[in-house]
């Protein structure tokens, strides 16, 4: 792929129908919506550069706005379609690379469902087999973290 540049007018005309319509506010309160084209340019800048959202140049809307729309577009599959339209297979590959770097934050309900599926209420999978847990199966109590810490303190 080529180094990042803002999209041209012709590219904008191609991807504009792919982006979801944002409802204008019925009340005149709050900030006006940021320009979708400049938000897309900011999102593309972060994707190309690999920089953090907070490092975005000032010529783009706030990084919070760009990140919020990035997440919405990613979750709806819009971002992958836009990248395919703009850059073809290389754009889709970049999207897949970004997906592997994204952290998946689970909601409280999803965490509870995952624990229930594992069969241990109240313990996450990373603490159940930890050598520092107070009751690790198969490890004598004399070698537990608490007993070693208690005797060395």
Query: Residue-wise pLDDT tens for the chain (153 aa)?
Result: 556 788 999 999 999 888 887 666 677 777 778 889 999 999 999 888 888 889 999 999 999 999 999 989 988 889 999 999 988 888 888 888 887 777 665 567 777 777 788 775 555 445 454 444 444 454 444 444 444 444 444
pTM of the model: 0.62
Count Cβ atoms below 10 Å from residue 35 Cβ, excluding itself. Answer: 11
7 and 40 Cβ atoms separated by less than 8 Å: yes
- Cβ atoms of residues 34 and 61 within 8 Å: yes
């Amino acid at each position: 792929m080529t180094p990042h540049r803002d999209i041209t007018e012709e590219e904008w005309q191609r991807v504009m129908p792919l982006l979801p319509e944002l409802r204008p506010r019925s009340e005149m309160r709050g900030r006006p919506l940021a320009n979708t084209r400049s938000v897309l340019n900011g999102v593309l800048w972060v994707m190309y550069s690999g920089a953090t959202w907070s490092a975005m140049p000032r010529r783009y809307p706030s990084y919070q706005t760009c990140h919020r729309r990035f997440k919405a577009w990613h979750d709806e599959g819009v971002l992958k379609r836009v990248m395919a339209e703009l850059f073809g297979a290389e754009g889709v590959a970049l999207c897949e690379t970004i997906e592997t770097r994204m952290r998946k934050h689970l909601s409280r309900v999803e965490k509870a469902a995952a624990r229930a599926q594992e069969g241990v209420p109240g313990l996450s999978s990373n603490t159940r087999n930890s050598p520092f847990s107070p009751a690790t199966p198969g490890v004598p109590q004399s070698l537990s973290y608490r007993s070693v810490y208690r005797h060395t303190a």
